[in-house]
Each structure stands twice: as structure tokens, then as C-alpha cells.
Structure 1
């Protein structure tokens, strides 16, 4: 059976012109796949349930909207170090929170939500990443009364490789110097559909992941975060596109949490949650500067 890297190389060479395929292959990066832990697996974190937090932890809230839901946690020290790109802290636990605006739609006991997570202010207010340093005493905390915890499952980690998606700004930039005749391949969306369809066959389901390249449901998640940070409307203002592309290249994928039947997590229509961060802020441990977006079909 071919290795995962061999499968990725085969996808590129089968669906992309040779010069573009080789640029894409040169960009392959490792990632940590998160999956439901079975008997005997080393548990590295959890999806859902209640987070283990310090006694003075303040539950993340979107002012005027409500409490954020706890989505996942990972123990950085237990992740396979050879798979972590970009580099995470060597230890401590990362907690991921998200404002689930579907909560309460069908239950009058919950207050109504007024702003969707796709609003620009949701980039920081509607999602949060918290790093709890190693050695800090923690206990499990029940969520506030306005939300319910998701069902929980333990997570195991595995090494995998990832490549950029069709619209990834770094991939496009890496191909800039190729001849115009080669670059015209990007002008036909059908070519992108064929490539992404073949690439999707290499992506595990559910696609929970730390680091590497995100696998978007639509266009590159970096573009969405960049456009929101610049308050750019790419539909109405085509002149904003270069600035958005440049800003998008400053962001890297931190975590991706897929819809998951085991936990009852359903992000829109089988969508995915994505947390991103700039490398300098990641290196400085400034997880409060992480940004967020989500996509669904």
C-alpha cells in the first residue's frame, strides 16, 4: 500500500500540470490528526464535555451574546512532536472555545442569539483559544447555564501530511513565476474541483487536526480571516484582493474541528471550525490573538 506522502504526490501529479504539481509537492507539511481514542491508545485530549481549568478561570463570553461552548482540548506534551507544524508550546493544554449560535434555536429555555459567528467581530469575540500552562492545578468546570456541554470523547493523535488547497494564498504565491500558459490552469474552476476532489479522498473523516494545512469546505480559510480583519468586501471591491492575499499569507492553521456524530457537533451543514494564528504571536504564546472562521456546504 502506498504511503500517505506517495498518495499526495500522486494526486498532485494526476490533477495538476507538472510545474504546478512540483511546487505543490514542495509545500507538503506535517500535521497531527486527532481521532476518537480506542482501547490502548494514548489519550492526548478530548472533544466536548467539560474543560479542566484553573480555579480562577473566567469562562469565555461574547459580551451581549452569551457564553462560548467548549469544543476541544489537547495536551501539547503528548502530541507527536515530528507532526507539529507550526510549533506549539512544548507542554500545557490548549482549550478551544466557540460561540455556537445554533444553541437555543429550538429550545425556549435558552436566550436567542442575535449575531452569527460569521460577523467580523466574531474573529476574537466569538471564539477563543486558551493555553493552560503545565503544573497549574485544574479541575473540570461545568459550563454556564446558558449553554450545554457537547457529548465527549477521548482523543488520540496520529501523524499525517497535508498540502495547501486550491486557493491557498501561499500556493498561489509559490507559482507566481511560472509561465503564463501554465498559470492559466488556475483560471478554470473545474480544474480546482478535480484537484480538490482527489485531495479530499486522502483526508480522514472526521477531519480533526492540529497544525498543517486546513482542508476547507469552500475557499482557503486564510482568505476569510484576512478579509474579515481588513474589513474587505471581496464581492464588491475587487481592488481589495491583493491586500487580502498578502494578509492571508500571514496566518497559519492552528486547529480544525470537523462536525462529529459521536459528540453531536454539527457546524452548519456538515461544516468545520478553524482557528488560525500568526506565527509571531504563536511563538510568543499570544493565543488571545488567534482568529477564527468556519465553513459549511
Structure 2
């Protein structure tokens, strides 16, 4: 749901693109997101800035995350939560501290080894730049970019939109995509989005993530089978199972970007999911990572 302060923009653009027939649907399905865009190449003149790619700033004595084979994970991003606070319109994130994202080998594309680390503000007092190890799980040299955050409206994409509602004789999917572009204010500098919709063909990412996080089982590309397994996990409570899937949140979707050097398979997207319950509790130790590539 979109916060009241953003409804004017949503309603104005829906009317401008003459999608009034889908107004109620869009009001209910558009998500309030946070977009992260390239600001400038990181010079490391300031410790603790929000950054994607490059090297992280870590507290002294913090061990570099490693995968199950002992290989150092690849640093992806550090996000200063005070930078995100003005744009977190539904108050989902801690107000202070830092979120770090690391990833292991991106093969296979599901259940990817990773680490999401939250450090409170008091643990960031003596951080310093920590160069990446020479050998990391994802090969390559990655250029660090300072990132800026902005609040965004995130409409359902191809994998999630109800086409029967948004399309009619006068409104095709191409026109809907133009509306989406205006709603998100999408830019070529965008690197990542938080709390939006993951890129996918089938709209089933939350089922995959919920199944793994709750049961440890591998998704078999059947939403019905996954929901049944989650229901079994809750001893037959199907309402609880549906709620868990519905509450699964896209913590971060990180795009491929030639400037940074990230390329997830065929220029795809790396996705991190978290249960709403864990997010609101500030528990980032229980997350799921997968990859989408067309």
C-alpha cells in the first residue's frame, strides 16, 4: 500500500495515462519503495557513506564473510540507514546503523550463499576501508559508487501485474509500462531498489523465498506445492501460510551495471528477501538470495 502523502502523485499519473479503470487495483498493489542511484565514483574520502561496489568500511576485528567452502564472499553494498531514513516512508528499517550485503558464488541461481549484516551505530565508530580479498566468490574488479536514495512508487511489473485489469481495448501493456516508468521515475543511474517487485516472469519469488526460509526446502516451480509445504510446516494452518508468503519482502534487488562491473548471468538481477517479522525486529540473519536473468 502507498502512504497517503504519495496518493496524489499516483492518482494524477493514473488519470494522465487514462488508467482510471485500474485505479483501485493500482492503489492497492503499488508498493512504496526506495531506489538507490549512482551519485559519483567512490573516492573513499569519507568513511561510512552509502556505497555499492568497491570496498566496504568495516569495524576493526570484523571477519570478512566466507562461504561454506571458505572462499571470501563478494562485497556488494553498504547502506547507511540514516541516509535511507527520510525515504523509508513506512518505517521498515532501523533508523541508524549500517546494512552490508555480501554474496557467494551465484551458481545455481536459487538459494545463493550470502550474508546480510546489520551493525548498530555504536559499532561503526572505528570503521575503516577494508580492501576486498584478492580472491572472492564472484570474480572481477568492481568500481565503488556513492549512491543516493529516493522514495519511489513501485507498480507491479510483468511477472506480477494482473493484465486483465490493466489492459482493455484502449490500453495495452506498452502503455502500462509507460505509466510504470513515470511512477518509478526510473533512471539509467538506478542500481538497486528496496521493497519493490522483483524482476521475474512468473510472480512466484515470494513462494520460493518463504519455502526456503521456513522449511529449508527447494522450490519446484509450483506455487501450489510450495504453499502446501508451508501449510504443512504450520500444521495445516493455510491462513498462516498465505500470510507468510504475502508478508515476504524484497529487501534489495541489485541490478547488473557495467560501470560498477556487476553482471548477474545475462545482465540479470540479484534479489534478497526477508520475512516482514524479521525485518521489523531488525533481524537480518534470516534472509534468502536468488538471481533472475532473462
Settle same-fold status: TM greater than 0.5: yes
Matches within 5 A, 1:142-153: 142-147=131-136, 149-153=141-145
Deviations 1:125-162 (A, max 9, x none): x1211112113221111223322551111111222211
Matches within 5 A, 1:77-156: 77-85=82-90, 87-101=92-106, 116-120=107-111, 122=112, 126-136=113-123, 137-147=126-136, 149-156=141-148
Q: CA 1:85–1:65 in structure 2 vs 1: closer, same or farther (change >3 Å)?
A: farther
| d(CA) in 2 for partners of 1:65, 1:117 | 18
2:225 matched residue in structure 1: 240
Choose 278-287 or 192-201, whichever is displaced more.
Answer: 192-201
Q: CA 1:290–1:248 in structure 2 vs 1: closer, same or farther (change >3 Å)?
A: same
> How far 1:65 sits from its partner (Å)?
6.4
CA contact under 8 A between 2:207 and 2:227: conserved in structure 1? no
> How far 1:289 sits from its partner (Å)?
0.6
Q: CA 1:192–1:74 in structure 2 vs 1: closer, same or farther (change >3 Å)?
A: farther
1:60 matched residue in structure 2: 65
**Higher relative contact order structure (alpha carbons within 8 Å, sequence separation ≥ 6):** 1
CA contact under 8 A between 2:157 and 2:199: conserved in structure 1? yes
1:179 matched residue in structure 2: none
Counterpart check, 1:272 vs 2:261: no
TM-score (norm 2): 0.72
> How far 1:30 sits from its partner (Å)?
2.4
> How far 1:226 sits from its partner (Å)?
3.2
Q: Aligned-residue CA RMSD in angstroms?
A: 3.6
CA contact under 8 A between 1:34 and 1:156: conserved in structure 2? yes
1:263 matched residue in structure 2: 260
1:180 matched residue in structure 2: none
Matched length: 256
Q: CA 1:24–1:44 in structure 2 vs 1: closer, same or farther (change >3 Å)?
A: farther
> How far 1:207 sits from its partner (Å)?
4.0
Which of 133, 146, 155 is the equivalent residue of 1:163?
155
TM-score (norm 1): 0.71
> How far 1:239 sits from its partner (Å)?
4.3
CA contact under 8 A between 2:208 and 2:226: conserved in structure 1? no
1:26 matched residue in structure 2: 28
CA contact under 8 A between 2:72 and 2:135: conserved in structure 1? yes
Give the match's secondary structure for 2:285.
Answer: helix
Give the match's secondary structure for 2:132.
Answer: coil
CA contact under 8 A between 2:141 and 2:261: conserved in structure 1? no
| d(CA) in 2 for partners of 1:53, 1:222 | 31
Q: CA 1:23–1:38 in structure 2 vs 1: closer, same or farther (change >3 Å)?
A: same
Give the match's secondary structure for 1:135.
Answer: helix
CA contact under 8 A between 2:208 and 2:218: conserved in structure 1? no
Q: CA 1:12–1:57 in structure 2 vs 1: closer, same or farther (change >3 Å)?
A: farther
Q: CA 1:284–1:36 in structure 2 vs 1: closer, same or farther (change >3 Å)?
A: same
CA contact under 8 A between 1:4 and 1:160: conserved in structure 2? no
Deviations 1:224-265 (A, max 9, x none): 323545433135xx7415447824313111112111121111
Gaps spanning 5+ residues in structure 1: where? 102-115, 173-182
